[in-house]
Amino acid sequence: MPTFDGVTSPSVTVQFLKSGTWTSVTTTDVIQIDIRRGRTRQSERDQAGISVIVLNNTSGFYDPDNTSGSNPWVVSGTSILRDGLQMRIVATIGGTPYHLYYGFLEENIVNQGIVSSVSMTFVDGIAYIADAQAPALATAGFAESAATRVGRMLSYALWGGSSSLTGIVNLLPTVQGRSCMELIYQAVDAIAGRFYISRSGVATLVPLADKFSRPTQLLFTDTQASNTVGYMQLFTNPGTYFVVNQAVVNRGDYNQYTSLYTPSSSAYGIAKTVLDAPVATDANAQNLALYESRKLAEPLTYVERIEFNALAVGTYGALYPDFLATELSDQVSVVRSGRQWNLVVEGMAHTITQNNWLVSYTTSAINPYSITI
């Protein structure tokens, strides 16, 4: 990718794990990189991150059926380009590397046309954890914190990667007998938090309080001011379709807590959300219901999506490190004609070619309402 020199703009490298060593794909073979991570809005679950890499296969090296001795991706007579191959994408600026994606090969499609190419689809750890099942217990057990429960689910799923798990709310005992992701989502709901796989492959659980301590990475403006990023497209939403003013917390059979925020329901009608959150105490259940019935109760206009060209990030300041370090749940701000929105990054998408790099952030408003859960 000649446009990306690592000095005026980041260099971007695709790497495969070969015999325990991260080995770079020939840069000129990379036709396009697509990355999708996170979610489209805060009321959704974080989805498995997906990356699609399109490679020029004129050499034939990226065909998994090519097991010739000259193929650099063949080890002991077998191509490593098979299901489960570990891949990461690294961007480097000023000698400092930043991970953009970490995942596992799920599909490898070879186009044997006149200009041969290979399209490789990778998924992150959520896709693998989702396949695992937590075994049923004869009697309910494991009264534990949300973080501990998620950690156990990762163990059941044979998660071999790193994890960063925070969530001190205690959960009721469980008989399990469900998918690991279903039990992880219970823990996520119990702490009004979020679970995702980080850019570097770390299984990450964060609670509600995390939202108020994340860094603000970038300021987007239409003014070309110093240390800001210019945006290409800016999509706002009045928020009326995303109002939630009633929350029902299911703690188990015949055990519910409900909260209705009357000022909002009187103005917009009742819009309900139901959470499967087996929190251990009545107080935590009530506080959770209060929070969920109020955080989206008013349809405030917010920025739904920001689109920009990453190759212009360094135009008005040395902002590439901030851009490359941006993670899901980090914050950004947007100024448009004097009006400012402070936002949470809910999802991100990258499309990188040999001469361009387009980025889209889906965002939500940083709602100031908080409560101890």
CATH number at residue 17: 2.40.10
253 occurs within a structural domain: yes
Residue 353 placed within a domain: no
pLDDT in tens, 52-64: 999 999 999 999 9
C-alpha triplet 170, 175, 178: angle, nearest 5°: 100
* pLDDT tens digits, 247-277: 999 997 768 999 999 999 999 999 999 999 9
- Same domain flag for 306 and 279: no
Nearest in space to 350 (alpha carbons), one of 303, 313, 301: 313
Q: With 80 as the cut, is the pLDDT of residue 305 above it?
A: yes
259 with 247: CB under 8 angstroms?
A: yes
Do both 64 and 109 map to the same domain?
A: yes
Name residue, tokens 């702490």.
191
Q: Which of 208, 223, 254 is the last residue of a domain?
A: 208
Cα-based torsion angle of the residue sequence 260, 264, 267, 269 in order, rounded to the nearest 10 degrees: -40
Shared domain for 192 and 257, answered yes or no, is no
- Domain co-membership, 225 together with 337: yes
CATH of the domain at 262: 3.30.1920
Average pLDDT over residues 333-349: 93
Residue 189 domain flag: yes
CA–CA dist 209, 266 (Å, integer): 29
The β-bridge partners of 203 are 163, 197
Question: Which string of b and e fits 173-185 if b means at least 16 CB within 10 Å?
Answer: ebebebbbbebbb
Q: Are residues 117 and 228 in the same domain?
A: no
What mean pLDDT do residues 3-22 have? 93
- DSSP-assigned letter for residue 26: P
Same domain, 86 and 39: yes
pLDDT at 2 over 50: no
* 232 plus 326 within the same structural domain: yes
156 and 191 share a domain? yes
Report the pLDDT value the prediction gives residue 115, as an integer from 0 to 100: 86
- Contact between 334 and 225 under an 8 Å Cβ cutoff? The reply is no
Predicted pLDDT of residue 41: 85
Q: Would you say residue 237 has pLDDT above 90?
A: no
Q: Where are the alpha helices (DSSP H) in 68-118?
A: none
Q: For residue 44, which phi and psi values (nearest 5 degrees)?
A: -100, 165
145 in the same domain as 22: no
For 241, the token pair is 């379709």
Q: How far apart are CA 244 and CA 247, in angstroms?
A: 8
Enclosing domain of residue 275: 242-294
314 and 336 share a domain? yes
Sorted by sequence, the CB contacts under 8 Å of residue 302 that are 6+ apart come out as: 236, 237, 239, 341, 343, 363, 364, 365
- Asked if residue 312 and residue 230 are part of one domain, the reply reads yes
> Going by DSSP bridges, is the β-strand pair 229-230/216-221 parallel, antiparallel, or unpaired?
parallel
Q: State the amino acid at position 184 in one-letter form.
A: I
- Joined together, the tokens standing for residue 114 give 């006149």
Boundary of a domain, candidates 98, 123, 148 = 123
Q: Cα–Cα distance between 324 and 329 in angstroms, integer?
A: 14
Collapse the DSSP code of 150 into the 3-class scheme (helix H, G, I; strand E, B; otherwise coil) and give the result.
helix
Structural domain contains residue 366: no
Domain boundary among 294, 317, 332: 294
Per residue in 70-117, pLDDT (tens digit) is 999 999 999 999 999 999 999 999 999 999 999 999 999 999 888 899
Indicate the Cα dihedral angle 15, 17, 20, 22, nearest 10°.
0
Query: How distant, in Å, are the alpha carbons of 92, 98, 193 from that of 322?
Result: 12, 10, 24
**DSSP conformation class of 42:** T
Take residue 6 and report the two structure tokens written for it.
Answer: 């690592």
The pLDDT-based confidence of 1 (bands split at 50, 70, 90) is very low
